[in-house]
Amino acid sequence: MLEHPYPTLPSTWYFDAGHHRRELDAIWWQEWLCVARESEFAQPGDFRIVRVGGQQVLITRTTSGSLRAFHNTCRHRGSLLCETAAGQFAQQRIVCPYHAWTYSLEGELLRTPRKPDAEGFGAEDHSLYPVLLETWRGYVFINLAEQASTSLASMIAADCAALARWPLEKLSLAHQEAHTVECNWKVFWENFLECYHCPNVHQDLCRLVPLYGEGLNSPDDLPAGSPLRPAPGGSRLRPGAVTWSPDGLTELPTFPGITDAERAVGMTFANLWPSVFIVAHVDYVRSVHVLPLGPEQTQLTVNWMLLPEVLSSDGVDIARLTAFGRQVVLEDARVCALNQQGLHSLRHRHGSLAPQEYDVLAFDNWVRKRLGESEIT
């Protein structure tokens, strides 16, 4: 718990275009960003466009089976290469729609039609602009810096240790959906990192997780002797519930490799700022990808994942699988939009954090540090 009210970030940091550009430069163009699942690129030539701020990144699977990422920009005069969000490259070639410069899936310039190359022109000097790409346990990460300042391994080491026994790399995508939220990306993260809002916003979630009904994130925030404090290794879910679903129950098999303690807890979280959080349940895994579209608009991509043998079996009810998570996301989207609108008040320079919003302070200090500002302690 925080011992006294700490200030939030300045209100202008959530909507000012100049400050948004500062964050793009210092955070979004420097950090490793989790943007997709490897399984979304099943065949050579499959591609997706990822939008981060004003940048567009083309990700494709090559003929050798590897994944490559490039800026969605032709080396001729800068035209977009891909007009659609996803698809399959015909004949495994990337062809600019403007002047038909043609590239391999590895990004090499293959031909420039209709006129012989000028003297001194080298195709090897006109490959597509590469974007750093690495994978981790089935997730695809990109980094827009020309050279990454930190390794992906160092970024995920501590934050994802809790997910070690879930078979993330084996999971298949059962369902994916995108939501555009009318708020700054930091507003969404701050909302996610506290449950102070839960009693007013997420009544069904609070019935499933009684601790959230107290506006708290952790059993450690409860006073000693509280009846809501679970026994060591006990569940945070209400009695009889085992997962996040409309009734707290599941018709799916549980993951065989997780421990009894992990089953008992009922939900395991991993946060990788600024772009994704992963929630591992006993029967499925859900991840929410967070990318800024502008100073006051954020795209959320929500993935629900199952073991392939479970997904291919009879009786998987996708509507039931996704209903509860979608409800929580939409409830959050509504209040985040309200938060965003209110931040424009001429009088509101910054907010004050409540005692249980210590994770919001940690996130705000993470942002301050990356912007070269002093952290608040």
pLDDT category, 314, cuts 50, 70, 90? confident
Copy the structure tokens of residue 82: 């891909």
Query: Within 13 Å and on the Cβ side, how many CA atoms surround 127?
Result: 13
101-151 pLDDT, tens digit each:
999 999 999 999 987 567 788 889 999 999 999 999 999 999 999 999 999
What pLDDT, on a 0 to 100 scale, did the predictor assign at position 4? Answer: 87
What pLDDT, on a 0 to 100 scale, did the predictor assign at position 279? Answer: 98
With beta carbons less than 8 A apart as the criterion, state whether 270 and 159 touch. yes
What pLDDT, on a 0 to 100 scale, did the predictor assign at position 117? Answer: 67
Q: What is the model's pTM?
A: 0.96
What pLDDT, on a 0 to 100 scale, did the predictor assign at position 301? Answer: 98
pLDDT of 220 strictly over 90: no
pLDDT of 28 strictly over 90: yes
Classify residue 5 by its DSSP letter.
Answer: P
pLDDT of 332 strictly over 80: yes
Give the chain's domains with CATH numbers: 1-30+157-377 (3.90.380.10), 33-149 (2.102.10.10)
Copy the structure tokens of residue 220: 């450690």
Give the span between the Cα atoms of 150 and 285, in whole angstroms.
Answer: 27
pLDDT category, 235, cuts 50, 70, 90? confident
pLDDT category, 233, cuts 50, 70, 90? low
Separation in Å, CA 64 to CA 60, 104, 311: 11, 12, 28
With beta carbons less than 8 A apart as the criterion, state whether 350 and 9 touch. yes
59-86 pLDDT, tens digit each:
999 999 999 999 999 999 999 999 999 9
pLDDT of 356 strictly over 80: yes
Range from 164-178, 225-239, 319-333 carrying the lowest mean pLDDT = 225-239
SS3 content of the chain, % helix, strand, coil (to 5): 30, 25, 45
Average pLDDT, the chain: 95
pLDDT category, 266, cuts 50, 70, 90? confident
Residues with Cβ within 8 Å of 268's Cβ and at least 6 positions away in sequence, in order, are 162, 163, 166, 262, 279, 280
pLDDT of 232 strictly over 70: no
Range from 262-271, 277-286, 347-356 carrying the lowest mean pLDDT = 262-271
